[in-house]
Amino acid sequence: MNDRSNETQAARDSNPVLVEVTRGEMVESCHRGAFAVADVEGRIVLSAGDFERDVYPRSAIKPLQAVALVESGAADAFDVDQKELAVACASHQGEPQHVEVVRAWLSRIGYSNADLECGAHLPYGEESAHALIRANQPAETVHNNCSGKHTGFLAVARQLGVAPKGYIKFEHPVQQTILGILEMMSGLDLRGAPRGIDGCGIPQYAMPLGKLALAMARFADPVDQPERRQAACAKVRAAMAAEPMMVAGTGRFCTQVISATGGRVLVKTGAEGVFCGALPELGLGIALKIDDGATRASQVATGAILRRLGVLDDDVAQGLSHLLTPELHNRAGTLVGEVRAAEPAFS
Amino acid sequence: MNDRSNETQAARDSNPVLVEVTRGEMVESCHRGAFAVADVEGRIVLSAGDFERDVYPRSAIKPLQAVALVESGAADAFDVDQKELAVACASHQGEPQHVEVVRAWLSRIGYSNADLECGAHLPYGEESAHALIRANQPAETVHNNCSGKHTGFLAVARQLGVAPKGYIKFEHPVQQTILGILEMMSGLDLRGAPRGIDGCGIPQYAMPLGKLALAMARFADPVDQPERRQAACAKVRAAMAAEPMMVAGTGRFCTQVISATGGRVLVKTGAEGVFCGALPELGLGIALKIDDGATRASQVATGAILRRLGVLDDDVAQGLSHLLTPELHNRAGTLVGEVRAAEPAFS
């Protein structure tokens, strides 16, 4: 185990409360965490909590992983369009629109459902999940929320001229290519970082939140990166902005924020309470981690950061109010509380 | 808003980390919280964190609410058997075994699905939920995890000779009866306490964790309570011990702990990371709240408290290891981490 991780969470100072969950006359639950907003020189322009603490970025860095798809030449070689590039950045809901794009893309590059090593799970989208259950059909790997990303990995493997099998392993050229990009964009030596396995099987490298924010700032504005990477980042950003529905799905936070801001704000959720964001016009990157891993909190906290940065104007914020301060209703439909940002943490 | 609740969570000292979630070489997420173990005189014999902080007990006090069912005479008058009494204490999975018991009980006392005011949701049990979806049948109120408790409320209303409609309201005689029991067992004046509405529509009263533990100690050993209540508590305890499957369902934490200990340990989960427990042989009550509301943490922390109290012998603990330190597997079935108690908090 790496030195950086020897210290247990229990021994650490606590991060501030970022999000409160109310019920009636009381705050019932609260979520602590940390975040950093960095510019392309790594300056932290806004933060709360310990942003030097290591986190696994999880699916929040799918846009950075997708940079490899373009930079390797695979996107051009296989005529990857914007929907495909956006679904490579996605934690998608497994709706027909997502599954059809992934299936067609897989088939075009000569692979199938069986080549995806991400495992299968029922679609996150309730309607899509119920449709499968009703039809008595099993969940397939294409329904996995990461199937677009994995299809991208297969395309990179083909482009690199290596056998695709085992493309999720640390030592496979696909993962090594991505590791190189992550190291250069974060400025970290990740080969010695604490390592884990992601929900979909690929390696995860721990990185301090502030450096993750820097990597996202460079994704937003890769001014100090090689030209090839600048072009790749621009292509990935354009795909996310043009096809927000591919990045998540109907009703989802990422899709709605990207869509409502016309792609000026690119956000991506990750498991265990992680969120990343890129603000191309401002050259800023955002990285956030809720200590306890709750998505209800990471979304509301990300919304509060965006409000604080002034990138959601009042009209947009009004339209997103159901995401920024979600109401809680009980089973009979009665309003019982809300999830809200703990204001002091964002001021 | 009550004075006690004016202070926001954000301004409070943090509770200790009770549970850690590992992934590979690092602790990825952590859960803070507080707990108290009290004896029948209200002495706190074991604790962590701020046990004077108010919590909503949520479904963790269903056993105390079920005391009203017996004490009112309704259980005797309507021949309520142990399965019915246990399902009145339950957050059940909506399996056929639960739904059948609730339907039959409702019908015997002259009510139906339509009289339950808890709202409907798909069964928590995946198999049961999928069966309904496959059959194209809607979720009914009997599938609600609280349907047993609500049937008990209807029985109490009938016994009290009052109209059942609105039995979930604060001012209804059923809820006033329960409020009286909660006040006497916790020693609190709850009429001025911060109040909220539960997931199933009934009132929730905030109480300090230490007092909730006292109420559970009195449930375990009601030595200072009126005789009628002593008998009622004994009946409810016996039902939970005899019918653990009714209290939750297949594979569930509460069911497995009650079952594995032969009913010597009675535990009940609540939403938003609450857990209560009663140890009749030791005359102890347990109350726990995970600050962020996570059930994965409340279960593991409750297991650690039970271990610390010495009420799970090694054989039992071995058999429950999948609940005490659950392994985390990814979608492809690979072991990626575990959920574990943060030992210092329980020593």
pLDDT digits (tens, 9 = 90+) for A191-213: 999 999 999 999 999 999 999 99
pLDDT of residue B13: 80
Contacts of A28 (CB under 8 A, 6+ apart): A21, A22, A337, B55, B56, B196, B272, B293
* ipTM over the 0.85 cut-off: yes
pLDDT digits (tens, 9 = 90+) for B87-144: 999 999 999 999 999 999 999 999 999 999 999 999 999 999 999 999 999 999 999 9
Whether residues B330 and A119 touch (CB distance < 8 A) is answered with yes
pLDDT of residue A6: 43
Q: Which residues of chain A have pLDDT under 50?
A: 1-7
Cβ–Cβ pairs < 8 A, chains A and B: 193
Residue B300 touches chain A, beta carbons under 8 Å: no
Distance (Å, whole) CA B146 – CA B153:
11
Question: Hunting for tokens 């039902």 — which residue is that?
Answer: B239
Least Cα separation, residue A137 to chain B (angstroms): 11
Residues of chain A numbered 39-58 and touching chain B (CB < 8 Å):
54-56
Whether residues B29 and A344 touch (CB distance < 8 A) is answered with no
Instruction: Give the residue among A210, A174, A214 at the shortest CA–CA distance from A50.
Output: A210
Question: For residue A127, what are its two tokens?
Answer: 């309607």
pLDDT of residue A13: 80
pLDDT of residue A119: 97
If residue B308 lies in a helix (H) or strand (E), which one and from where to where?
helix B295-308
Residues of chain A numbered 77-116 and touching chain B (CB < 8 Å):
none
Residue B24 touches chain A, beta carbons under 8 Å: yes
Task: Count CB atoms within 10 A of the CB of residue A311.
Answer: 19
Residue B340 touches chain A, beta carbons under 8 Å: no
What's the whole-model pTM score? Answer: 0.96
Task: Answer yes or no: are the C-beta atoms of B214 and B229 closer than 8 Å.
Answer: no
Distance (Å, whole) CA B134 – CA B123:
13
Instruction: Give the residue among B264, B289, B218 at the shortest CA–CA distance from B67.
Output: B218
pLDDT of residue A11: 53
Residue A121 touches chain B, beta carbons under 8 Å: yes
Whether residues A25 and B136 touch (CB distance < 8 A) is answered with no
Residue A118 touches chain B, beta carbons under 8 Å: yes
Of B2, B26, B30, the CB nearest to A292: B30
Task: Answer yes or no: are the C-beta atoms of B2 and A27 closer than 8 Å.
Answer: no
Of A10, A134, A194, the CB nearest to B16: A10
| DSSP three-state, residue A74 | helix
**CA–CA distance from A229 to each of A77, A99, A225 (Å)?**
17, 29, 6
Residue A119 touches chain B, beta carbons under 8 Å: yes
Of B10, B31, B198, the CB nearest to A342: B10
Least Cα separation, residue B142 to chain A (angstroms): 12
Residue of chain A minimizing CA distance to B130: A133
- Within B89-172, where are the H helices? 96-108, 126-134, 147-160
pLDDT band of B52, cuts 50, 70, 90: very high
pLDDT digits (tens, 9 = 90+) for B170-216: 999 999 999 999 999 999 999 999 999 999 999 999 999 999 999 99
Percent of chain B surpassing pLDDT 70:
97
What single-letter DSSP state applies at residue B310? T
Least Cα separation, residue A207 to chain B (angstroms): 11
Q: How does DSSP assign B138-150, residue by residue? A: ---GGGSTTHHHH
Residues of chain A numbered 239-278 and touching chain B (CB < 8 Å):
272-273
Residue A320 touches chain B, beta carbons under 8 Å: no
If residue A29 lies in a helix (H) or strand (E), which one and from where to where?
strand A26-39
pLDDT digits (tens, 9 = 90+) for B254-293: 999 999 999 999 999 999 999 999 999 999 999 999 999 9
Mean pLDDT of chain B: 96
Residue of chain B minimizing CA distance to A56: B28
pLDDT digits (tens, 9 = 90+) for B233-251: 999 999 999 999 999 999 9
Task: Count CB atoms within 10 A of the CB of residue A150.
Answer: 26
- Dihedral angle computed from the Cα positions of residues A229, A238, A175 and A289, in that order, rounded to the nearest 10 degrees: 110
Task: Answer yes or no: are the C-beta atoms of B285 and B217 closer than 8 Å.
Answer: yes
**CA–CA distance from A210 to each of A286, A289, B227, B233 (Å)?**
9, 11, 62, 54
Residue A330 touches chain B, beta carbons under 8 Å: yes
pLDDT band of B11, cuts 50, 70, 90: low
Chain-centroid distance of CA A171 in Å reads 23
